[in-house]
């Protein structure tokens, strides 16, 4: 079954909880290459409540459109597990400076707690797990899956 998407422009104040008939709400600051993009990756920010999730969307969206975050973001519109996730995309998971810059921008918005980073290619290949993890602040570390991923993809 295909996912249903709600595309949110800069002037659109729709919140994730307001469009439950869609699977995802998304917005784009900068287009990436068309088709399947194997270099894109995302910081994955979990939230436990719909209200907290809407607040997170409200914090992130203006920063995305000012060019402070990555190239795009998407958010689930309903709770399907214990958490609702928002994904902040970067163009290239191999560009550590940009991955770090986006993490710094996320943290500058007072977003705390553990967040994860995964390349989309992992998901396309059906592989689970994240390659980076940031438990707090602007620091992040590579995970065991990340070490294997880097060896496989950069050799």
| Total of domains in the chain | 1
pLDDT at 20 over 80: yes
pLDDT tens digit sequence for 42-63 = 999 999 888 888 999 999 999 9
Range of the domain at 24: 5-114
Q: Where are the alpha helices (DSSP H) in 30-134?
A: 50-65, 96-108, 120-124
Q: Determine whether 14 is exposed, middle or buried from the number of CB atoms within 10 Å of its CB (0-12, 13-18, 19+).
A: middle
Q: How confident is the model at residue 97 (pLDDT cuts 50, 70, 90)?
A: very high
- Residue 139 included in any domain: no
Tokens 């995964």 map to which residue? 118
Tokens 């975050």 map to which residue? 69
- Residue 124 included in any domain: no
Between CA 105 and CA 76 the distance in angstroms is 21
Q: How confident is the model at residue 33 (pLDDT cuts 50, 70, 90)?
A: low
Between CA 136 and CA 3 the distance in angstroms is 32
CATH classification of the domain holding 75:
3.30.760.10
Task: Tell me the average pLDDT across 72-82.
Answer: 80
Its pTM stands at 0.87
- Residue 25 included in any domain: yes
Which stretch of DSSP H or E encloses residue 117? strand 115-119
pLDDT tens digit sequence for 99-147 = 999 999 999 999 999 999 998 887 777 777 888 989 988 888 888 888 8
């Amino acid at each position: 079954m295909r996912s249903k998407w709600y595309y949110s422009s800069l002037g659109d104040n729709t919140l994730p909880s307001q469009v439950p008939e869609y699977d995802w709400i998304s917005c784009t600051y900068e287009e990436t290459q068309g088709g399947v993009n194997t270099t894109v990756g995302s910081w994955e920010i979990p939230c436990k409540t719909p209200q907290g999730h809407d607040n997170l969307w409200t914090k992130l969206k203006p920063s995305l459109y000012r060019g402070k975050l990555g190239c795009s973001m998407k958010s689930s519109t309903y709770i399907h597990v214990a958490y609702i996730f928002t994904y902040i995309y970067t163009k290239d998971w191999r560009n550590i400076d940009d991955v770090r810059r986006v993490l710094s921008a996320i943290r500058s918005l007072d977003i705390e707690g553990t967040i994860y980073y995964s390349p989309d290619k992992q998901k396309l290949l059906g592989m689970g797990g994240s390659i980076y993890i940031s438990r707090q602040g602007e620091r992040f570390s590579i995970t065991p899956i990340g070490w294997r991923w880097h060896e496989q993809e950069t050799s």
